[in-house]
Structure 1
């Protein structure tokens, strides 16, 4: 059995802008990571650095430009290592419906529940970044 996190939200910008914000390091660093690297291409490796202790890697496991991107964790902690997270984007009359998923968690433990809460906060930060240009300094992100 595995456990999954799902969050849906509308961001009032185009799918292209959301896709850039969730796939390009220069945007990821403004709402999620301390510093990151990678290219939005199938099989491409990404480095997701949060601190020296949390210097993680993943690869692009599925991609459809401006519509969908999913990342399979390859080097992280025991809870995240089996997981895949991603963003599916649908244009609507209000902007872009973002369907976020983080799937295949091995346990429904504290880390799973905490990560679900953190993703909700980070996705709100993504929304504020894209709609209002708000960049929260990394050390103030939860």
Structure 2
């Protein structure tokens, strides 16, 4: 049995703008990572660095420009390693409907629940980044 996290939100921005914000390192570093690298191309490796202790890697497992972007974890911690997270985008009346998923968690433990809460906060930060230009310094992101 595995456990999954799902969040949907509408962002007042075009699918292209949302796609760029979830795929390009210069944007990821403004709302999620401390520093990141990678290209939105199938099987390309991404480095998601949060601290020296949380220097994680993943590979692009699904990508369609301005529509979908999924990453399969390859080097992280025991809870995240089996997981894949992704962003599916649909044009909406007021911008873009972002359908977020983080699937195949091995346990419904504290880390799973905490990560779900953190994703909700981060996705709200992504929304504010795209709609208002807000950039929260990395040290102030939880």
- Shorter-chain TM range is over 0.9
Aligned counterparts of 1:65 and 1:43: Cα–Cα separation in 2: 15
Segments of structure 1 that go 5 or more residues without pairing to the other structure are none
Give the TM-score normalised by structure 1: 1.00
- Structure 1 partner of 2:140: 140
After TM superposition, which residue ranges in structure 1, 4 or more long, deviate above 2 angstroms? Answer: none
Aligned counterparts of 2:125 and 2:102: Cα–Cα separation in 1: 17
Segments of structure 2 that go 5 or more residues without pairing to the other structure are none
Cα drift, residue 92 of structure 1: 1.0
- Structure 1 partner of 2:66: 66
- Structure 1 partner of 2:31: 31
Q: Deviations over 1:55-81 (max 9, x none)?
A: 000000000100000000000000000
- Structure 2 partner of 1:89: 89
Cα drift, residue 36 of structure 1: 0.1
- Structure 1 partner of 2:99: 99
- Structure 2 partner of 1:5: 5
Aligned counterparts of 1:82 and 1:6: Cα–Cα separation in 2: 16
